[in-house]
Amino acid sequence: MTRAAEHERAHADGRTHEHDGEHAYDVVVLGAGPVGENVVDRVRAAGLSAAVVETELVGGECSYWACMPSKSLLRPAIARSEARRVPGLRAHAYGPLDAHEVLAHRDSVVGDWKDDGQVDWVRSTGAQLYRGQGRLHGPRRVTVEGPEGDRHVLTARHAVAVCTGSRAVLPDLPGLAGARPWTSREATSSARVPERLIVVGGGVVGAEMATAWQALGSRVTLLVRGDGLLPRMEPFAGEHVADALAERGADIRTGVEVSAVVRDGSTGPVTVVLADGEVVEGDEVLFATGRRPRTEDIGLETVGLEPGSWLRVDDSLRVEGHDWLYAVGDVNHRALLTHQGKYQARIAGAAIAARAGGAGGEDGAAWSPYRATADHAAVPQVVFTDPEVAAVGLSLAAAEAAGHRVRAVDLDLTSVAGAGLYVQGYRGHARMVVDLDREVVLGVTFVGPGIGELLHSATVAVAGEVPIARLWHAVPSYPTLSEAWLRLLEAYRDGAGTP
Amino acid sequence: MTRAAEHERAHADGRTHEHDGEHAYDVVVLGAGPVGENVVDRVRAAGLSAAVVETELVGGECSYWACMPSKSLLRPAIARSEARRVPGLRAHAYGPLDAHEVLAHRDSVVGDWKDDGQVDWVRSTGAQLYRGQGRLHGPRRVTVEGPEGDRHVLTARHAVAVCTGSRAVLPDLPGLAGARPWTSREATSSARVPERLIVVGGGVVGAEMATAWQALGSRVTLLVRGDGLLPRMEPFAGEHVADALAERGADIRTGVEVSAVVRDGSTGPVTVVLADGEVVEGDEVLFATGRRPRTEDIGLETVGLEPGSWLRVDDSLRVEGHDWLYAVGDVNHRALLTHQGKYQARIAGAAIAARAGGAGGEDGAAWSPYRATADHAAVPQVVFTDPEVAAVGLSLAAAEAAGHRVRAVDLDLTSVAGAGLYVQGYRGHARMVVDLDREVVLGVTFVGPGIGELLHSATVAVAGEVPIARLWHAVPSYPTLSEAWLRLLEAYRDGAGTP
């Protein structure tokens, strides 16, 4: 759709909309990723008018440079790994993945990095889409600087929602800028399989991308500052993933610090220099070393907030001290996960609509439709490594740090009949953290093949605060992996576990 | 262990035990399948003495001729089917399964039909194992006729638990007896892949075995009396499975009646004659036409019960009118599923132990540790067909028949982002049945690749009676198949569904 056609459509929708004009909406949303889209969806469903401003592609990081492409790269890796351990099939699965086919499928999953479909969806909600850089310009006011120099001023009757997400952080290292490092964007969008890939960082992005590119044929070196992978999860999770990567040939070095990066010329190899003087040579280097909020250029200073900062919010996702300003998704630093941002978006949208209507939204009860209570108690995450990792709620360490009186029970998943039927030589582990005062589950972590879809059972148990006594009546089907639940409950009943 | 050694051990355990003698235990269990084993486990854990009597192999039908071998045959079929739809891998997965490898693995899964490991487990509990036919001989008394003509009389101070399970029914058809038909036993234990397999019956056994043998190379004809497969489940489940079997070449005939079966000689083909005069020729014919209780020769007549009947029990699994007699698992006809029998066994064991101690066990509250409440409300089942089917609780029809005021919401699973990432060309469907008066989920059914482990989330929701309003806070991880939950909740919120 041309811009002229856009304007025509805007007029047809009954909104005034001119170059350099000022336009009023009930709600203005900065950022049209999944989070912004969900805020739009909810406030539009409540009958509020909405505008959404997007600098890049409608659909956001998740659609083009994160969840979607990464999972399209990882699923073949995981499926092949499992096929290799299934009797009758394994002989077929020893060949290499067809990398060309995997990359072509990835390209189609991201719509070749075009956002037409997502734009259509936004428009179908009746929201107005503005392309360009949106910036706050004092309370309830947003300016948009369009790609062709056009400028719009939007005013928000009820709320502005900042949903601009986060971007990868590159550390300040000698030589890095000239070495064309990969971030998560290049790692998910590369059209070529590097022969040797150096991954710096052992968090989720590092572990997933090491898994994907290893399966596509790269020799992987993983450089980790800490003492293991997936440091925010139960320790056994990262251990299983590291063991599997290493068995497939990855060189994993923990406790190392990168001090410089060197790349000569445009096609030559890249050299990573470690603090102890060792050097590692590769063809590409991925820095998966954290995220920062995309809030540096959105006019936060005009409303007394610090540009580039994470935005602190209450459980209705409203920025502290600004009754009209919401920060939803990565920018609030509560949980940098697409699904959790979408959850927050549903909550924020409901709260905005209720407050606009003069009712509700102030209902402060935990687990109400206007409170993102799960952000504290029940954030789920599936890491698509091989083996998969899935966790929800609090780890043992986090539960203890939060002052809960807890017991953790552990389970070797090989004791589950369904495990050996799923793949031969199954290896996996589970932990359940129980609140001893309330006899409810605070957190569950699984690591092992095929456990990704099992996580939601734990998410329902944790978010639902289903008592342990009742979980005994939630019978796992035999012989599935879900029998892990029975073994965990038995271990808890029989007094196993720590402390 | 020799019988002499057994006797020695029994003496060492402090129990009197002689040929043709009379031995007293707190609890006597008939049948050492998973159900009997779990009753033994629970009463032994409560400090009661126990004897268990087994006619065939310790470990029961599930271990040797049902769940375990069938899933070992089905997993390669399912894994290959998925691999064929994963980019980068599919080219490798077009070859046939290595049937020899699959069958050899099946043999190892069933321990070559030897029960040493299971016997060791029973003994480790401290229970006494008697091999032979156990029969009630009046209240609280069981006779055992051993394989070598030895005879024992066991008395039960507190309870006798009948856990003898069920067996396949063969219909009374002309020629069938001489035609060496397969039942579920032969279908799970065959050492040979028949070139042409005729399957009579479209229930779970028929659908699963058609799937397994088709993948192993058989040409399958499926003869179904009703109008579709999996008749007890939501109609779309059987439709998806039938479509997939047919696309892979199965000949599915619904609404047909078998009137005769003919096989000449010992190696020739078998011919099935239909009521309309058509004939179907195959190399083997499987009759998967229902089960009957293994209660015909267990002395029921000595306690006023009908031999061969299903045994009616209350929610503590106690047979009506007999305060010492329990019937657990298939024999009570509540749910012919291993996991549900094991659940009942835990409940029965707890009730027996509580009553033996003079306390508890009479606690009639729903969902107490002494009541198998889930038998009514939350029975889960995973059907390992391709695509998989998983259901828990009530179907729409069952919920309406039970008088609930309900709404069912439906979902095409292709709308879930995780589906297209799981396999290309994903096809699947889900239905959630909501109790409109209590706003809880009464039942959920999924059909589609990869949904087996997702079922337990529904089982926790249904058994936990987690309110719909709280389920919104159980965030599904993106992009997994569990986002089906979000779409179902949205559809319910937005008023979709029937009636």
- B473 and A480 in contact by Cβ < 8 A? no
List Cα–Cα distances, A357 to A43, A139, A155, A157, in angstroms.
11, 20, 18, 12
Conformational region of residue B200, where left means phi above 0, alpha means psi within -120 to 50, and beta covers everything else: beta
pLDDT band at B93 (very low <50, low <70, confident <90, very high): confident
Count of C-beta atoms within a 10 Å radius of residue B267: 7
Q: What is the C-alpha R_g of chain A?
A: 24
Query: What are the two backbone dihedrals, phi and then psi, of residue B144, each rounded to the nearest 5 degrees?
Result: -120, 125
Based on the number of CB atoms within 10 Å of its own CB, is B122 exposed (0-12), middle (13-18) or buried (19 or more)? buried
Is 90 exceeded by the pLDDT of residue A212? yes
List Cα–Cα distances, B231 to A277, B238, B382, B391, B395, in angstroms.
69, 7, 14, 13, 11
Query: Helices B455-463 and A455-463 meet at what angle, rounded to 10?
Result: 20
Q: What is the pLDDT of residue A96?
A: 82
Looking at chain A, the whole-number percentage of residues with pLDDT higher than 70 is: 95
- B382 and A104 in contact by Cβ < 8 A? no
Per-residue HEC secondary structure of A405-431 comes to CEEEEEEEHHHCHHHHHHCCCCCCEEE
List Cα–Cα distances, A273 to A152, A250, B458, in angstroms.
48, 18, 51
- B109 and A378 in contact by Cβ < 8 A? no
Q: What is the pLDDT of residue A105?
A: 97
Q: What is the pLDDT of residue B454?
A: 98
Q: Which chain B positions have a beta carbon within 8 Å of A340's beta carbon?
A: 475
Closest among A378, A499, A481, A480 to A430, alpha carbons compared: A481
- A460 and B460 in contact by Cβ < 8 A? yes
Q: Which chain B positions have a beta carbon within 8 Å of A470's beta carbon?
A: 367, 463-464
Does the structural domain A177-289 have CATH classification 1.10.10.10?
no
> Do residues A422 and A450 touch, judged by C-beta distance below 8 A?
yes
Q: What is the mean pLDDT of the segment spanning A4-27?
A: 57
Q: What is the pLDDT of residue B19?
A: 46
pLDDT tens digits, one per residue of A35-61: 999 999 999 999 999 999 999 999 999
| Structure tokens given for B317 | 């699994």
> Do residues B377 and B385 touch, judged by C-beta distance below 8 A?
no
pLDDT tens digits, one per residue of A217-269: 999 999 999 999 999 999 999 999 999 999 999 999 999 999 999 998 777 99
DSSP code for B327: E
Q: What is the pLDDT of residue B497?
A: 81
Q: Which residue of A has its CA nearest to B374?
A: A473
Q: Which chain A positions have a beta carbon within 8 Å of B109's beta carbon?
A: 420-421
Domains B3-59+115-166+293-374 and B387-493 share a fold: no
- B477 and A381 in contact by Cβ < 8 A? yes
Considering the four listed CATH numbers 3.90.1170.40, 3.50.50.60, 2.60.40.10, 3.40.50.920, the one that applies to the domain covering B3-59+115-166+293-374 is 3.50.50.60
Q: What is the pLDDT of residue A361?
A: 61
Is 60 exceeded by the pLDDT of residue A2? no
pLDDT tens digits, one per residue of B231-267: 999 999 999 999 999 999 999 999 999 999 999 877 7
Residues 455-484 of B with CB under 8 A from A: 455-457, 459-464, 466, 469-483
The CA angle A64-A69-A70, to the nearest 5 degrees, is 125
List Cα–Cα distances, A423 to A78, A451, B105, B458, in angstroms.
12, 12, 11, 24
pLDDT tens digits, one per residue of B416-451: 999 999 999 999 999 999 999 999 999 999 999 999
pTM above 0.80, yes or no: yes
- What is the rounded average pLDDT for all residues in chain B? 94
Q: Which residue of B has its CA nearest to A99?
A: B88
Q: In whole angstroms, give the CA distance from residue B21 to residue B30.
A: 18
Q: Could you state, in order of their start, the residue ranges of all structural domains in chain A? A: 3-59+115-167+293-374, 177-289, 387-493
pLDDT band at A3 (very low <50, low <70, confident <90, very high): very low
pLDDT tens digits, one per residue of B323-352: 999 999 999 999 999 999 999 999 999 999
pLDDT band at B20 (very low <50, low <70, confident <90, very high): low
Is 60 exceeded by the pLDDT of residue B11? no
- Per-residue exposure over B173-186, b if at least 16 CB sit within 10 Å of its own CB, e if not: bebbeebebbbbeb
Q: What is the pLDDT of residue B382?
A: 98
- Stretch among A19-23, A126-130, A145-149, A228-232 having the lowest mean pLDDT: A19-23
Q: What is the pLDDT of residue A4?
A: 38
Q: List, in sequence order, every beta strand (DSSP E) within B251-324.
A: 251-254, 258-263, 270-274, 279-282, 284-287, 291-293
> Do residues A338 and A367 touch, judged by C-beta distance below 8 A?
no
ipTM of the complex: 0.95
Q: Please provide the distance, in angstroms rounded to a whole number, between the alpha carbons at the two ends of chain A.
A: 62
Note the CATH number of domain B177-290: 3.50.50.60
Name, in order, each residue with C-beta under 8 angstroms of A306's C-beta and a sequence gap of 6 or more: A300
Q: What is the pLDDT of residue A265?
A: 79
pLDDT tens digits, one per residue of A138-167: 999 999 999 999 999 999 999 999 999 999
The β-bridge relationship of strands B388-393 and B291-293 is: unpaired
The β-bridge relationship of strands A279-282 and A388-393 is: unpaired
Is 80 exceeded by the pLDDT of residue A428? yes
pLDDT band at A295 (very low <50, low <70, confident <90, very high): very high
> Do residues A474 and B464 touch, judged by C-beta distance below 8 A?
yes
pLDDT tens digits, one per residue of A374-386: 999 999 999 999 9
Query: Helices B34-45 and B116-124 meet at what angle, rounded to 10?
Result: 20
DSSP code for B278: -
Instruction: Please list the residues that pair with A263 across neighbouring strands.
Output: A270
Is B279's Cβ below 8 Å from some Cβ in A?
A: no
* Chain position carrying tokens 């029921």: B300
pLDDT band at A332 (very low <50, low <70, confident <90, very high): very high
A3-59+115-167+293-374 adopts what CATH topology? FAD/NAD(P)-binding domain (3.50.50)
Is 70 exceeded by the pLDDT of residue B14? no
pLDDT tens digits, one per residue of A99-114: 999 999 999 999 999 9
Among A378, A453, A461, the residue with its CB nearest the CB of B480 is A453
- B378 and A474 in contact by Cβ < 8 A? yes
Name, in order, each residue with C-beta under 8 angstroms of B243's C-beta and a sequence gap of 6 or more: none
Is 70 exceeded by the pLDDT of residue B370? yes
Task: Name the CATH superfamily for A387-493.
Answer: FAD/NAD-linked reductase, C-terminal dimerisation domain (3.30.390.30)
